């Protein structure tokens, strides 16, 4: 199709503002799917996405509207997936910015709007849920208009639920979003903005054709990776894969590569034609860096190979997932994984447990630190166990947190941020009722229990988003937990000196409760270097024997001892102490439980 | 090992009781006075069927229950008269059943030893246990036995009773010592989850759990201090007054047991009679063995049991005999912790090791 008749756009919105419902309605209205084929949130194909009502992977679907080819790229809404959003946005020329008429602008509305502006996208502001009794379409339209610098009259009012106004939104996409620019006759260049893995057909690249054209069976080359492959199939999503034989400049579609190694075609790479290669790749995406790290260990050590395979498979569909083998004395073989944020971590964990049927132990999440050792070396530390005991200087990542709350909660929010070593930046009234509060906070403070505190202290009315600012120096210490004098590597943590005593005490106390009494006294200590900051003792058992054992009791007694023996086998050995899996779980969930 | 005709220990189960005590988990039947004769007939019939397993002259016979002394006296007499002779014949008795006449009956029937279920000497604890006897009944029964010239009497005590303070425990031990029995068995109350007893006393027991942890040690120290030998985890005796029957179990001897719910072990065979009285009587009336659950004991299991039971005693278990069941690394660790010694005579638990016997055994087993 000629470039003039193509529009590439995405829908961006704060979570729950109706993005996926709007996408569903568009598929229906454009007769891409009949009503019978429709199911809620067609584009959210992952079980987890459907269940949580969120989008994790970007999806691209082609619809036809009044003689135009519209490529809709659905994007995730959560802060953790900003990177996925930005990749998807690079494949577009415009975006529908959806705002809930009852909720107004939220933190991610701002984040997404800024992202769209940065990517030079034409923003079509949309107020959704106008059918709700508590909706304020006019007030919300005014807010959005101001945000994006648009005339309030041009804000589309619609209800994705009833379908009212959806056609107007599509018309606006055709009218306002510019057609893709690009050279249809030049050497072919396509941007890989996402990929998935098909176990029969290998890596499937989601691409935006920028210049030129691909044909099925053509030899292609990934410019950055240097990999060559044959385009086994080309096509678009409608919303299922629909082969088209060619992809031309401006179009969005997929390329089945047959590649079995996902590493040989990375998201952000440029695909060109082998026969007539482009000289320059398209500007790539910035390299995404994980911000949150945690150790993942199978609860059954026999499951290690399964965990490795599962991570490999997940990585095929999740380029942002980072992992490397980690060995813990206490937890055995596992992986240190890097995530885009806490939600990302939770999603990976849930997918591993559900889709791959694994039982996992996840260590307390931490951030990446820059450490200067006494010797003057600079190292990046992702694992508390690698944190040098003697350091010259430490820097930790800092974020700029944007929170929007009703004005009554500003006080408690500021209190929370101050407790979390936050630095006030500024405050702004968005309306008479709603306040935008900006703080700079150490990322480590967000990773530890922040979301739940935020939620409980603002009764769920706060919306939150953040950008990573960079690194800053901080007085951080490594706290080790020792059982009978032996450090438990999996429980070490890096923490600001001011909270080290409280956390150390809480951990030690919890371990004392969770570790069963042994045949000897077990001191449980928290220590910074060689200095003990908290100590408890698990007193030795005084009695563990059944009094009565006569002729009729022997079998039962033997079975009880066998059971006791089996129980011991399930425990992890830390030095001379036997620690049940549950004790690690309880300690690692300390944060979670404190929230409740 | 005993082959045909080699078994020297016989256990006879008499399940009848006047009432059921809340904590009891033995096979017992309340009342059923009319069935005592039929039951004794059945016991003798079962004995006849298993007679070939037994040696001509037994080392021990043990009548346990239930309350053996609750059995109709004539039936008890008939039973005792029909059992093969043995060097030690023990009968369990509940205090309230021991009259001078009963004591004489037992003595005349060849009983050499009586195990008296005292449990406690304090009314509030006996009530918690739902025992029928009061403290005076216990003392009276003891004297009746002495009067009938029993010189080998054992007292059963229970500790860890709901509401039992440590001074209660001391008083019970004092009372028992004052009687001067030849033998004492002291059991910690084993209350099973889900029982009526646990329902009534579970909270109280949980509250007391920590305080009661030291009771076992207290019992041992008091009785050993009074000159008793702590020869088995829960058993104490004057010199030469071990319960030979029970010692047979702990040394891994074979034993034949008759009666409902009774468990026998002969070589690698173990069987348990089903606990149903009706089916037991019917089978033996028809001249057949009663319905049983069978268990086959492989060589590894025999070794495990030998170790598990042997470690309950105050005399070493030969490492040569049980070595195959012992994890040497664990043994070294437990020796370092001062819980086990492995001397020339074999394996022996230290005093602290004996308090932790089950945990130590679990660790020692391969």
User: Which of B190, B261, B263 is closest, CB to CB, to A547?
Assistant: B190
Please, are residues B126 and B133 in contact by the beta-carbon 8 Å criterion?
Answer: yes
Q: Alpha-carbon distance B211 to B231, whole Å?
A: 25
Q: Any idea of the CA torsion for A219, A224, A227, A228, to the nearest 10 degrees?
A: 10
> What pLDDT, on a 0 to 100 scale, did the predictor assign at position A76?
63
Residues of chain A positioned with their CB less than 8 A from the CB of B337: 519-520
Q: Alpha-carbon distance A83 to A76, whole Å?
A: 9
Q: Alpha-carbon distance A245 to A234, whole Å?
A: 6
The shortest C-alpha distance from B12 to chain A (Å) reads 11
* 10-residue stretch averages of pLDDT, chain A, 596 residues long: 90 85 88 63 53 54 93 71 72 94 88 84 96 94 91 95 95 96 94 84 91 96 91 90 93 92 79 94 72 90 92 79 88 91 85 88 90 90 88 94 92 95 94 91 89 85 86 95 91 91 92 93 95 96 89 93 85 84 75 41
> What pLDDT, on a 0 to 100 scale, did the predictor assign at position A51?
54
Do A519 and B356 lie within an 8 Å CB cutoff?
A: yes
Residues of chain B positioned with their CB less than 8 A from the CB of A568: 362-363
Do B357 and A545 lie within an 8 Å CB cutoff?
A: yes
Share of chain B above pLDDT 70, in %: 99
The shortest C-alpha distance from A591 to chain B (Å) reads 29
> What pLDDT, on a 0 to 100 scale, did the predictor assign at position B284?
97
Look up residue A262 and give its DSSP letter. Answer: G
Residues of chain A positioned with their CB less than 8 A from the CB of B246: 550
> What pLDDT, on a 0 to 100 scale, did the predictor assign at position B90?
98
> What pLDDT, on a 0 to 100 scale, did the predictor assign at position A47?
55
Residues of chain B positioned with their CB less than 8 A from the CB of A578: none
> What pLDDT, on a 0 to 100 scale, did the predictor assign at position B4?
56
Do A554 and B312 lie within an 8 Å CB cutoff?
A: no
> What pLDDT, on a 0 to 100 scale, did the predictor assign at position B26?
82
For chains A and B, CB pairs below 8 A equal 96
In total, chain B counts a number of residues equal to 366
Do B11 and A576 lie within an 8 Å CB cutoff?
A: no
Do B305 and A576 lie within an 8 Å CB cutoff?
A: no
Write the burial class of residue A36 (CB in 10 Å: 0-12 exposed, 13-18 middle, 19+ buried).
exposed
Do A546 and B358 lie within an 8 Å CB cutoff?
A: yes
The shortest C-alpha distance from B272 to chain A (Å) reads 8
Please, are residues B157 and B119 in contact by the beta-carbon 8 Å criterion?
Answer: yes
The shortest C-alpha distance from A306 to chain B (Å) reads 29
Residues 6+ apart with CB under 8 A from A446: A342, A399, A401, A420, A466
Do A547 and B365 lie within an 8 Å CB cutoff?
A: no
Residues 6+ apart with CB under 8 A from A62: A32, A69, A70, A71, A72, A236, A237, A238, A242, A252, A253
User: Which of B188, B262, B337 is closest, CB to CB, to A552?
Assistant: B262
Backbone angles phi, psi at A47, to 5 degrees: -55, -45
Angle in degrees, 0-180, between the axes of helices B73-82 and B36-50, rounded to the nearest 10: 10
0.90 surpassed by complex ipTM:
yes
Q: Alpha-carbon distance A553 to A547, whole Å?
A: 11
Instruction: Please list, residue by residue across B134-146, b when 16 or more beta carbons sit within 10 angstroms of its beta carbon and e when fewer do.
Output: bbebbbbbbebbe
> What pLDDT, on a 0 to 100 scale, did the predictor assign at position B76?
96
Q: Which candidate in A484, A516, A543, A566 is best for mutational testing of the B interface (most B CBs within 10 A)?
A: A543
Name the residue with tokens 């269940």: A51
Q: Which of A439, A441, A364, A450 is nearest to A397 (CA)?
A: A441
Query: A568 at the B interface (CB within 8 A)?
Result: yes
Q: Alpha-carbon distance A399 to A467, whole Å?
A: 5
Q: Alpha-carbon distance A336 to A338, whole Å?
A: 7
In total, chain A counts a number of residues equal to 596
Nearest residue in chain B measured CA to CA from A553: B263
The shortest C-alpha distance from B117 to chain A (Å) reads 14
The shortest C-alpha distance from A523 to chain B (Å) reads 16
- pTM score, whole prediction: 0.70
Do B358 and A565 lie within an 8 Å CB cutoff?
A: no
For the segment B316-326, the average pLDDT, to the nearest whole number, is 91
Name the residue with tokens 């329902």: B199
Residues 6+ apart with CB under 8 A from A566: none
Question: How distant, in Å, are the alpha carbons of A445, A454, A479, A493, B125 from that of A496?
Answer: 9, 20, 10, 10, 56
Residues 6+ apart with CB under 8 A from A282: A189, A191, A210, A270
Is residue B2 scored above 50 in pLDDT?
no
CATH number of B299-364: 1.10.10
The shortest C-alpha distance from B263 to chain A (Å) reads 5
CATH number of B9-250: 3.80.30.20
Q: Which of B326, B233, B23 is nearest to A545 (CA)?
A: B233
Do A561 and B214 lie within an 8 Å CB cutoff?
A: no
Per-residue pLDDT tens digits for B99-116: 999 999 999 999 999 999
Do A519 and B304 lie within an 8 Å CB cutoff?
A: no
For the segment B95-100, the average pLDDT, to the nearest whole number, is 95
Query: Any idea where the domains of chain B sit in the sequence?
Result: 9-250, 299-364
């Amino acid at each position: 199709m000629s470039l003039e008749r193509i529009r590439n756009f995405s829908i961006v919105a704060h979570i729950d503002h109706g993005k996926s419902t709007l996408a569903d309605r568009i598929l229906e209205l454009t007769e891409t799917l009949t009503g019978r084929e429709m199911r809620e949130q067609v584009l959210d194909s992952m079980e987890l996405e459907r269940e949580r009502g969120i989008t994790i992977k970007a999806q691209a679907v082609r619809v036809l509207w009044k003689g135009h080819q519209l490529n809709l790229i659905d994007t995730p809404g959560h802060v953790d997936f900003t990177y996925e959003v930005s990749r998807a946005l690079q494949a577009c020329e415009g975006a529908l910015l959806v705002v809930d008429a009852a909720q107004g602008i939220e933190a991610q509305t701002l984040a997404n709007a800024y992202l769209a502006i940065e990517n030079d996208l034409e923003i079509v502001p949309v107020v959704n849920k106008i059918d709700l009794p508590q909706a304020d379409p006019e007030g919300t339209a005014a807010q959005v208009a101001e945000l994006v610098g648009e005339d309030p009259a041009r804000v589309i009012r619609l209800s994705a639920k009833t379908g009212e106004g959806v056609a107007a939104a599509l018309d606006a996409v055709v009218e306002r979003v510019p057609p893709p620019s690009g050279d249809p006759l030049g050497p072919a260049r396509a941007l890989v903005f996402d990929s998935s893995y098909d176990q029969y057909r290998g890596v499937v690249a989601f691409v935006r054709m920028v210049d030129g054209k691909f044909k099925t069976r053509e030899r292609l080359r990934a410019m950055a990776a240097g990999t060559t492959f044959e385009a086994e199939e080309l096509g678009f999503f409608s919303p299922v894969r629909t082969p088209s034989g060619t992809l031309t400049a401006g179009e969005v579609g997929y390329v089945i590569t047959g590649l079995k190694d996902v590493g040989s075609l990375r998201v952000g790479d440029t695909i060109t034609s082998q026969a007539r290669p482009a000289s320059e790749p398209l500007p790539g995406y910035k390299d995404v860096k994980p911000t949150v790290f945690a150790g993942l260990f199978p609860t059954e050590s026999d499951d290690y190979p399964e965990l490795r395979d599962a991570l490999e498979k997940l990585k095929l569909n999740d380029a942002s997932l980072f992992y490397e083998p980690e060995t813990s004395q206490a937890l055995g073989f596992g992986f240190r994984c890097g995530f885009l944020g806490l939600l990302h971590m939770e999603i990976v964990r849930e997918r591993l447990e559900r889709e791959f049927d694994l039982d996992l132990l996840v260590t307390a999440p931490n951030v990446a630190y820059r450490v200067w050792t006494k010797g003057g070396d600079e190292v990046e530390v992702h694992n508390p166990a690698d944190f040098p005991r003697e350091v010259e200087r430490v820097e930790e990542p800092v974020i700029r947190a944007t929170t929007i709350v009703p004005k009554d909660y500003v006080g408690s929010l500021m209190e929370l941020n101050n407790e979390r070593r936050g630095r006030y930046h500024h405050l702004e009234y968005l309306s008479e009722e709603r306040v935008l509060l900006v703080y700079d906070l150490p990322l480590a403070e967000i990773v530890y229990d922040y979301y739940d505190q935020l939620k409980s202290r603002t009764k769920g009315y706060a919306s939150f988003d953040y950008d990573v600012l960079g690194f800053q120096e901080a007085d951080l210490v490594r706290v080790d937990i020792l059982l009978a004098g032996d450090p438990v590597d999996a429980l070490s943590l890096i923490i600001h000196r001011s909270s080290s005593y409280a956390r150390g005490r809480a951990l030690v106390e919890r371990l004392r409760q969770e570790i069963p009494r042994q045949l000897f006294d077990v001191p449980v200590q928290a220590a910074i270097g060689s200095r003990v900051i908290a100590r408890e003792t698990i007193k030795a058992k005084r009695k563990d024997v059944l009094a009565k054992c006569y002729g009729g009791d022997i079998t039962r007694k033997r079975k009880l001892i066998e059971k006791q023996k089996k129980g011991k086998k399930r425990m992890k050995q830390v030095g001379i102490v036997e620690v049940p899996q549950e004790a690690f779980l309880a300690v690692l969930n300390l944060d979670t439980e404190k929230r409740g | 090992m005993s082959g045909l005709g080699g078994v020297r220990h016989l256990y006879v189960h008499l399940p009848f009781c006047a009432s059921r005590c809340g904590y009891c988990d033995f096979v017992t039947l309340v009342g059923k006075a009319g069935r005592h004769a039929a039951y004794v007939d059945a016991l003798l019939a079962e004995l006849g069927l298993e007679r070939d397993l037994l040696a001509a002259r037994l080392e021990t016979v043990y009548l346990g229950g239930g309350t053996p002394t609750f059995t109709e006296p004539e039936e008890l007499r008939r039973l005792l008269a029909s059992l093969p002779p043995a060097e030690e014949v023990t009968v369990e008795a509940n205090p309230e059943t021991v009259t001078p006449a009963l004591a004489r009956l037992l003595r005349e029937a060849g009983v050499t030893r009586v195990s008296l279920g005292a449990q406690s000497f304090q009314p509030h604890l006996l009530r918690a246990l739902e025992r029928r006897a009061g403290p005076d009944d216990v003392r009276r029964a003891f004297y009746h036995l002495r009067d009938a010239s029993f010189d080998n009497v054992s007292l059963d005590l229970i500790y860890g009773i709901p509401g039992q303070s440590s001074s209660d425990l001391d008083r019970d031990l004092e009372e028992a010592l004052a009687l001067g029995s030849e033998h004492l068995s002291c059991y910690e109350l084993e209350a099973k989850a889900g029982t009526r007893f646990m329902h009534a006393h579970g909270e109280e027991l949980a509250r007391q759990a920590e305080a009661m942890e030291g009771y076992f040690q207290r019992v041992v120290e008091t009785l050993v201090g009074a000159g008793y030998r702590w020869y088995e985890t829960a058993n104490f005796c004057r010199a030469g007054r071990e319960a030979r029957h029970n010692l047979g179990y702990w040394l891994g001897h074979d034993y034949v047991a008759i009666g409902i719910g009774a468990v026998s072990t002969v070589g690698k065979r173990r069987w348990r009679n089903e606990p149903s009285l009706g089916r037991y009587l019917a089978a033996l009336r028809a001249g057949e063995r009663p319905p049983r659950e069978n268990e086959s004991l492989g060589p590894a299991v025999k070794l495990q049991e030998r170790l598990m039971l042997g470690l309950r005693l105050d005399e070493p278990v030969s490492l040569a005999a049980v070595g195959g069941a012992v994890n040497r690394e664990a043994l070294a660790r437990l020796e370092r912790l001062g819980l086990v010694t492995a001397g020339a005579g074999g394996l022996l638990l230290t005093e602290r090791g004996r308090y932790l016997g089950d945990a130590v055994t679990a660790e020692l087993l391969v």
